Amino acid sequence: MGAFGGHDGRERRWRGLDRLESRNRAPRSLLVALVLASITLITLDVSGGASSPLEPVRGAVGEAFGPAEAVAAGAVRPFTSVPAWFRSKGDLADEVRELEASNAELRGQVELAGFDRNRLSQYDGLTSAATDLGHALVPSRVVAVGSRQSQSFTITIDAGSSAGVGPDMTVVNNDGLVGRVLRVTSTTATVLLIIDPDSTVGGRVGSSMEIGFVNGSGTLDEDAGLDLRLVDDASVPSRDDTVVTWGSTSGPYSPGVPIGTITEVYSSLREASQRAVVKPFVDFSSLDVVGVMVPSGSASDRALVEADGSLR
Amino acid sequence: MSQLRWVAALAAAVVALVVQVSLFPHLAWNGVVPNLCLLVVVAAALTVEAPFALLLGFAAGVMLDLAPPADHVAGRWALALTVVAFLTARLRQDVRPTALAVVATVAAASFVGTSLFALTGILLSDPAMSVSGLLEVVLVAVVWDVLLTPFVLPPLMKLFARLSPQWAGE
C-alpha cells in the first residue's frame, strides 16, 4: 500500500516536474530587464539629486496615496486610543501626584530665577514687538510613518499645499522641533524627522549661545536621539543644557525652537572637537498632532493657530 | 482572467502598503513594521507563474519607493522585491507547499529582501547606518513577517490560485 502510495507520488511528481519546467521556465531575461529597470531608477534618482526626474512621479503617487493613508489613519485612530480607557483611578491619582510635584519644583525654579526672568521677559517683549514673530501654525495629524526597514525616518501628515504648507517649512509639536517638510502634495506633506541620519539642524546651546550642528543618529532610542557638534572646538557644552535652533527666518528651520537637552558630552581626541548627545524633547515613537510653521496670514483650508494662541 | 488577476494583485499591494504605513506604526517594535508588500509578492510567487510574480514584485517595489513617507533613493525596493520574487519562484516545488515550507520561504524572502535593500543603502551610502543596527532591523523584520504569515499568506494564495485556474492544479 505504502509502495503504491510512493509510486503514485512519484508519478505525480514527474508530471509536476514537467510542468515546472514549462511553468517556471527561467524568466531570466525578465529578471535582467527588471533589475536593470530598478538600477536605472536608482541612477536617475541619485544623479538627479533635488531636481530628480522622479520628483513629479513621487508627487503624482503621493496625490493618489495621500488620501488613502489619511482615511486609513482616521479609521485606526479610535482603536489606538483604547488603551487609554483602561487606566485605573490609582494610575490617574499617581499621575496627578507626580505632576503636582514637578509643578511645585518648576514653580520654585521660576521664583528663584525671578530677577533674570523679569529682565528676559522685558527683552522678549521688546524683540517680539519689534519684529513680530510672524509665524502661524497649521495643525495636522500624522497619517503614515516610514518603516525602519526603509532606513529613513519620515512621516506623512494630513496637511498639504492647500493648507498653505510648502517645502522646507519647520514642523513642531507641543514639546519641540519635529523636522522639516520635504515635499508636499495637495492634501499631504512628507516630513523628514530630525532623528534621520541625513538630517542636520543648526543648533544653539542655550546657556553659552554657542552654535553647532545637530545630526540625527538614526535611532528611536530616546536617550541617544541626536548628536551635537559645536563649531567652536574650545567650548565645552554642559550637561542638562537646552539646545534650540538658530536657523534663519527664510531657511528650513525657524530660530528659537527647542530641540532637546544635552545628556552626555564626549571629547573626541582625533578630531579635537566636542561631541554631545542630545536627548530630543519630542517623543518620536508616539507622534500624533504636529504643527507646521507658516508665515502669519497665509491662506489655508483650515484654522491657523497664530503666535499669540488665537485661532483664525 | 489575467486582467482581473492583475487588478486583484495590484489592489492587494496597495492595501498592503497603506496598512503598512498607517496602521502598523502603532504596533511597531522600535519602528520596524511587517513588510506586507513583501508578503503579497511572496504569495504570488508561490502560487502563480514566475513572470507575473516578477512584474508584481517590481510594481510593488516601485510603489514602496514612491508612496509618501518614503524618502530613500527610488528603485531600491523595486530591485529587492524583484529579486525576492525571482528567488521564491525558483525555490517553489511543484507540490502545494506545506505550512512549514511557506513559513520558511517567507523567513528567507524577508531576510533576503530587507538585506538587499540595506546593502543597496550601504553601496549608495543613502543614509549612513551602522551594520549592527541594520542587522537588528533585518532580524526583527523577519520575525514580524513570520508572525503575520498565517494571517496574510493563506487568503492571498487562495485568491491568486482561484484567479489563475490553469496553474492551480493540485
- Domain residue extents for chain B: 2-163
Report the alpha-carbon distance of residue A180 to residue A194 in Å, rounded.
8
Q: What is the pLDDT along chain A (312 residues), one digit of tens a residue?
A: 444 444 444 444 444 444 444 455 557 888 888 888 888 888 888 887 777 788 888 888 888 888 888 888 888 887 777 776 776 777 778 888 888 877 777 766 655 555 555 556 655 554 444 344 567 888 888 888 888 888 788 899 988 888 888 888 888 888 888 888 988 888 889 999 888 888 888 888 877 778 888 888 877 777 777 888 887 777 777 778 888 888 765 567 877 788 888 888 887 666 666 778 888 888 888 788 888 888 877 777 877 777 666 666
Contacts of B62 in chain A (CB under 8 A): 41
Residues 122-151 of chain B whose Cβ lies under 8 A from any Cβ of chain A: 124, 126-129, 133-134, 137-138, 140-141
- Asked if the Cβ–Cβ distance from A147 to B20 is below 8 Å, we say yes
The three cell numbers locating residue B122: 550601504
Q: Please list, in sequence order, all residues whose beta carbon lies within 8 angstroms of the beta carbon of residue A150, skipping any fewer than 6 positions away.
A: B64, B69, B70, B72, B77, B117
State which fold the A200-286 domain adopts: Thrombin, subunit H (2.40.10)
State which fold the B2-163 domain adopts: Arp2/3 complex 21 kDa subunit ARPC3 (1.10.1760)
Give the predicted TM-score (pTM) of the model. 0.76
Which chain A residue has the Cα nearest residue B85? A31
Residue-level pLDDT at A26: 54
Contacts of B30 in chain A (CB under 8 A): 148, 220, 285
Report the alpha-carbon distance of residue B163 to residue B161 in Å, rounded.
5
Phi-psi region of A133 (alpha: psi -120 to 50; beta: other; left: phi over 0): alpha
B82 touching chain A per CB within 8 A: yes
Report the alpha-carbon distance of residue B8 to residue A144 in Å, rounded.
24
Angstroms from A23 CA to nearest CA on chain B: 6
Which chain A residue has the Cα nearest residue B113? A149
| Option in A20, A31, A147 nearest B31 (CB) | A147
Angstroms from B143 CA to nearest CA on chain A: 13
Q: Please list, in sequence order, all residues whose beta carbon lies within 8 angstroms of the beta carbon of residue A8, skipping any fewer than 6 positions away.
A: none
Judge contact between A224 and A275, C-beta under 8 A: no
Higher pLDDT, B56 or A173: B56
User: What integer best gives the mean pLDDT of chain B?
Assistant: 84
* Strands A258-268 and A305-306, sheet pairing: unpaired
- Asked if the Cβ–Cβ distance from A12 to B92 is below 8 Å, we say no
* Strands A211-216 and A258-268, sheet pairing: unpaired
B1 touching chain A per CB within 8 A: no
Contacts of A77 in chain B (CB under 8 A): none
DSSP characters over A159-182: --GGGT--TT-EEE-SSSEEEEEE
The three cell numbers locating residue A41: 531608477
| Residue B95 pLDDT exceeds 80 | no
Residue-level pLDDT at A4: 43
B96 touching chain A per CB within 8 A: no
- Asked if the Cβ–Cβ distance from B17 to A35 is below 8 Å, we say no
Angstroms from A7 CA to nearest CA on chain B: 15
- Interface test with chain A among B15, B22, B124, by most A beta carbons within 10 Å: B22
